[in-house]
């Protein structure tokens, strides 16, 4: 039985889709997004820059590293130039598994990835890595004897320390072979506006954010080889170079791509 979509509560995945200019959202999501934009108008720009990083990192994985398998965790809705579109445009044989715990994502995804036998969706929580890895969809599409790009783009800041986000990342990377990638972005306390920090602490969002410093975010890459330019601000990342940073942005994310030795 398919899970019912609760249209009485905003969904972070659908709100993100709205920020990106998508149409797979409901009025409750748009209303919640407008509240966020009223208090933090930079949220829309952050969503756009985050998607730009996702695209660059996916291109890097396919073109520079020859990766043909992607495990996108906390993926949200697979719209607006998401991983399967970017990866399969360059490598038609690339396989992508999207993972999200939002029931509405499952229902939307089934329509968006129809007739694409190299793309699948698993409804699961990233706090249960074993459930994700052993899912029949994952097992069908991902060969864990070959490199995998594990993508945790703008999701770990929804995981509190009590749920051991570092352990989650380690468990996932332990499942993939040498040559695999970790692609990650995360809201940071670095250079954050005090006003925005206070708003976030007051939890005026659909799902609470857990802010972490750049040093704490870099810990997620422990034991891996960071690709240049390293763990940098979101808008700075490009393969082998560092782009200009917007010093005036009141909310920032750090990101990075790393290779498993």
CA quadruple 3, 7, 12, 14: dihedral positive or negative? positive
CA quadruple 141, 142, 148, 152: dihedral positive or negative? positive
Q: What is the tens place of the pLDDT at every residue in 22-49? A: 777 778 778 777 766 666 666 667 777 8
pLDDT of residue 36: 66
- For the chain, the average pLDDT equals 86
**Nearest of 33, 35, 24, 26 to residue 7 by alpha carbon:** 26
For residue 253, give both structure tokens: 């994310």
**Cis amide bond preceding 229, omega within 30:** yes
Q: Which class for 122: exposed (0-12), middle (13-18), buried (19 or more C-beta within 10 A)? A: buried
CA separation for the pair 250, 15 (Å, rounded) = 20
For residue 44, give both structure tokens: 């829309």
**In Å, how far are 128, 186, 255 from 132, measured between CA atoms?**
7, 21, 23
Answer for the pair 124, 116: CB distance below 8 angstroms, yes or no: no
Within a 13 Å sphere around the CA of 138, how many CA atoms are in the beta-carbon half?
Answer: 23
Residue with tokens 């609760």: 6
The band of 6, judged by pLDDT with boundaries at 50, 70 and 90, is low
Answer for the pair 93, 68: CB distance below 8 angstroms, yes or no: yes
CA separation for the pair 81, 89 (Å, rounded) = 10
Between residues 122 and 6, the one the model is more confident about = 122
- pTM here is 0.85
pLDDT of residue 150: 98
CA separation for the pair 202, 16 (Å, rounded) = 20
To which H or E segment does residue 232 belong? strand 232-233
Between residues 73 and 26, the one the model is more confident about = 73
For residue 190, give both structure tokens: 């670095």
| List of domains in the chain | 45-192+211-259 (3.40.50.150)
Q: What is the tens place of the pLDDT at every residue in 166-202? A: 999 999 999 999 999 999 999 998 887 777 777 666 6
The band of 10, judged by pLDDT with boundaries at 50, 70 and 90, is confident
**In Å, how far are 23, 102, 103, 104, 107 from 3, measured between CA atoms?**
21, 10, 6, 8, 8
């Amino acid at each position: 039985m398919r899970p019912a979509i609760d249209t009485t509560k905003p969904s972070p995945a659908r709100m993100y889709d709205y920020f990106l200019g998508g149409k797979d959202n409901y009025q409750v999501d748009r209303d919640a997004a407008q509240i966020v934009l009223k208090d933090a108008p930079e949220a829309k720009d952050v969503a756009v820059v985050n998607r730009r990083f996702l695209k660059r990192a996916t291109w890097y994985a396919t073109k520079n590293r020859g990766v043909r398998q992607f495990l996108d965790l906390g993926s949200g809705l697979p719209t607006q130039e998401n991983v399967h579109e970017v990866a399969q445009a360059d490598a038609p044989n690339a396989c992508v598994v999207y993972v999200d715990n939002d029931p509405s994502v499952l229902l939307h995804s089934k329509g968006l990835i129809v007739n694409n036998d190299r793309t699948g969706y698993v409804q699961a929580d990233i706090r249960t890595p074993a459930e994700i890895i052993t899912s029949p969809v994952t097992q069908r599409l991902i060969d864990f004897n070959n490199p995998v790009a594990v993508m945790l783009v703008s999701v770990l800041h929804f995981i509190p320390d009590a749920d051991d986000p570092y352990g989650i990342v380690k468990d996932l990377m332990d499942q993939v072979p040498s040559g695999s990638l970790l692609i990650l972005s995360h809201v940071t306390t670095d250079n954050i506006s005090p006003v925005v920090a206070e708003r976030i602490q007051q939890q005026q969002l659909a799902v609470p954010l857990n802010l972490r410093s750049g040093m704490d975010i870099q810990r997620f890459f422990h034991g891996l080889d960071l690709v240049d330019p390293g763990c940098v601000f979101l808008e700075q990342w490009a393969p082998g170079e560092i782009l200009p940073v917007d010093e005036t942005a009141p909310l920032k994310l750090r990101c990075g791509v790393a290779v498993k030795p």
